Amino acid sequence: MSGSNKSNPPEQPTTRTIRVAALARVEGEGALHLEMRGREVGEVRLDIYEPPRFYEAFLRGRHFQEVPDITARICGICPVAYQMGCCHALEKALGVFDDIDPPLRQLRNLLYCGEWVESHVLHMFLLHLPDFLGFESAISMAEDHGPLVRRALRIKKLGNELVALLGGRSVHPVGVCVGGFYRAPTARAARGLVGEIDACLDEMCEITQFLASQIEFPTLVRDYEFLALCPDDEYPMNLGRIRSNKGLDVDQEEFLDAIEEFQVPHSTALHARIRGRGAYLVGPLARLNLCPDRLHRRAAELLREVCRAIGQPLPWQNNYLSLLARAVETVHALALARDILAAYQTPPRSRVPISPRAGSGGHGTEAPRGICWHHYATCADGTIQSARIVPPTSQNQATIEEDLRQLAAGLVDLLDDQAALRCEHLIRNYDPCISCSVHFLKFTRSWSDPGFRSHPG
């Protein structure tokens, strides 16, 4: 952290703004400003200063088949999410959504499993866990917990390998096309990963039990509105209606009738709210709370043990527990990938043929961080007429600010350094991917109140 952060609550009747560190260990850039009025929290502003890159603007005029390669570049951590979102939406626009063969849908789930594993493990162990265990980074954590970090890296590597099996590489994979895949893997290559998955499944279950029993989770309970895809027959991933725990239930195409995006001066990321209601939460905690009965058997067993260990049945309304939700989902993704690979036979065709046409379609899938929704209109020649992308972190932004408001009220007596740490920890509950909306964090806290005097110092 930078050294200019000696802010205490004021002794002089002035307003002070003190700059603290850039937020580390998130994927992107941003800043946090807390305006304190005495001991009360005034304004909470999560500034996203990730430079605008204008994807929706320059997608216009590109051929539909270029879109999965281009949108992947929105986020290097979750490129598959952007590929899956645009493929489903474009397949609706081009009239082939219902033609995708079941084995290709399975391969898409397999690809997504790889990304969930890679992204969840990266976030849990390299970015988030150091907060819980009191380290500034996984690099320092590795000095004391070397075996744990190495076991985690092994599982992350397997996630990368699953993505690479279908896409050649884990960052910006090249295998996905609208209609399916350029090439389906050979049965031999597919089976080659089963042994490693089995080993990593056991590892991940063990590590999760360790986390559940050893970590003390801070408590910040709120009455969230959780939003996720809710398919009838599987855990949320690629398909399903969009539902919430407070009665929202819409078709994919109606997503923007249910929620609205709005812009605030301090952020290049658009905020979102449910029309007429307000902030909501997407991501692992939402999925787990809404669809626990659709977890893979292995993950469901683990969830029962975890609930017992922490003494809290679902629903979990404390987002610090998202660490455990990610762990359970990692096991789900590994187990699902194993089932798909074990039963895998090279499909008769790797993609369905598509003829260009004018049309439009909207679809969201479950990125590791939550619903990532796309909408496209195509011209008769197959080029893109309009594009709209709603990434998960921007949807969570209003909820993060509300969480921070509640947290900040309890941090009045902390120095800025310590307060910033606590705020960062909370923000990392959301695994904010700031490339797609937010990167972090400069922390400022300003105080105003003539009568206020405090701090033990």
Partner 1 sequence: MAAASAGANGSKPKLAVYKFSSCDGCQLQVLNLEEDLLNLVGVVEIAYFLEARRRQLPPPYDIGLVEGSISTPEEEHRIQQVRRDCRYLVTIGACATSGGIQALRNWGQVEEYARYVYARPEYVQTLETATPVASHVFVDFELRGCPVNQHQVLELLSALLVGRKPNISTHSVCIECKREGFPCVLVSQGQPCLGPITQAGCGALCPGCHRPCYGCFGPMEQPNIHALGDWFLERQRVTPGEMKRMLRSFNGYLEPFKQAGDYYERLEQEQSS
* Stretch 114-153 residues interacting with partner 1 (CB under 8 A): 122, 126, 130, 136-140, 142, 149-150, 153
- What is the nearest approach in angstroms of partner 1 to the Cβ of residue 435? 5
Q: Is 237 exposed, middle or buried (0-12, 13-18, 19+ CB in 10 A)?
A: buried
Helix, strand, or coil (residue 212): helix
Our CB check for partner 1 shows the closer of 54 and 188 to be 54
Smaller CB separation from partner 1, 28 or 364: 28
Residues 274-313 that bind partner 1 (CB under 8 A): none
Phi/psi of residue 450, each to 5°? Answer: -55, -35
Q: Taking CB under 8 A as the rule, does residue 160 contact partner 1?
A: yes
Nearer to partner 1, 247 or 265 (CB): 265
Under the binding rule (CB under 8 A), the answer on residue 169 touching partner 1 is yes
| Closer residue to partner 1 (CB): 108 or 439 | 439
Query: Distance (Å, rounded) from C-alpha 6 to C-alpha 1?
Result: 11
User: Interaction with partner 1 in 180-199: which residues (CB under 8 A)?
Assistant: 181-183
Contact in structure between 89 and 222 (CB atoms under 8 Å): no
Find out whether 446 and 17 touch, Cβ atoms under 8 Å: yes
Residue whose CB is less far from partner 1, 153 or 309: 153
For partner 1, the closer CB: 41 or 436 = 436
Instruction: Sort 400 into a burial class: Cβ within 10 Å, 0-12 / 13-18 / 19+.
Output: buried
Peptide bond into 51 cis (omega under 30): no
Q: Are 440 and 26 in contact (CB under 8 A)?
A: yes
Check binding of 49 to partner 1 (CB under 8 A).
yes
The nearest distance, CB 358 to partner 1, in angstroms, is 18
Check if the beta carbon of residue 278 is closer than 8 Å to that of residue 398. yes
Distances in Å between the alpha carbon of 1 and those of 4, 28, 34, 95, 122?
9, 17, 18, 53, 22
Q: Does 377 engage in binding with partner 1 (CB under 8 A)?
A: no
Neighbours of 205 (CB within 10 A): 22
Residues 383-412 that bind partner 1 (CB under 8 A): none
CB of 103 to partner 1, least distance (A): 17
Interaction of residue 168 with partner 1, rule CB under 8 A: yes
* Contact (CB, 8 A) for 388 and 56: yes
Q: Does residue 265 touch partner 1 according to CB under 8 A?
A: yes
Restricting to residues 199-238, name those near partner 1 by CB under 8 A. none
Q: Looking at beta carbons only, is 70 or 215 nearer to partner 1?
A: 70
**DSSP type of residue 66:** G
- Provide CB contacts within 8 A for 12, sequence distance 6+: none
Residue closer to partner 1 by CB (options 335, 438) is: 438
Tell me which residue has tokens 């089932």.
Answer: 339
Of 1 and 309, the one with the shorter C-beta distance to partner 1 is 1
- Please state, in angstroms and rounded to a whole number, the distance separating the CA atoms of residues 82 and 74: 7
Give one word for 89, left, alpha or beta, with left for phi > 0 and alpha for psi -120 to 50. Answer: alpha
- If one asks whether residue 330 binds partner 1 (CB under 8 A), the answer comes out as no
Three-class DSSP category at 225 = coil
Residues 419 to 448: which contact partner 1 by CB under 8 A?
Answer: 424, 433, 435, 439-440
Q: Which of residues 57-96 bind partner 1 (CB under 8 A)?
A: 57-58, 60, 62-63, 66, 69-70, 73-77, 79
Select the residue interacting with partner 1 from 88, 92, 120, 156 (CB under 8 A): 156
| Member of 10, 28, 85, 284 binding partner 1 (CB under 8 A) | 28
Residue of 16, 18, 24, 106 interacting with partner 1 (CB under 8 A): 24
